[in-house]
Amino acid sequence: MDAMETNSHDMLKRIVAPIAVWAVTKALEAPHVKKTMRRVDNTFYKQRKKAQRSIVRVSRNAAANRIWLAAGLAAIVTGVALMVRSAQKD
């Protein structure tokens, strides 16, 4: 069996990826980076909770006001139908 000789270029190519991963991991473990990421996560979590509450509120309001919702939908459909009718050429 022939032993393959590796040159320094090949060795560097093999070693660069693990070193880059290690460096990024070390950078992310720094206290000021952790604090910033925690702040970003909290902001995102607050926005998501606000959106969820908004959806629940809209659903609850729609369920509580079904008659008004149906009347509004009928008005929209009627308006669109009238616009289509008026846009048609005779």
10-14, 16-20, 44-48, range with the lowest pLDDT: 10-14
5-15 mean pLDDT: 83
pLDDT in tens, 17-45: 999 999 999 999 999 999 999 999 999 99
CA-CA distance, 9 to 51, in Å (whole number)?
52
Supply the pLDDT for residue 8.
Answer: 84
pTM of the model: 0.47
- Reading the block at residue 12, the tokens are 């560097």
Supply the pLDDT for residue 90.
Answer: 59
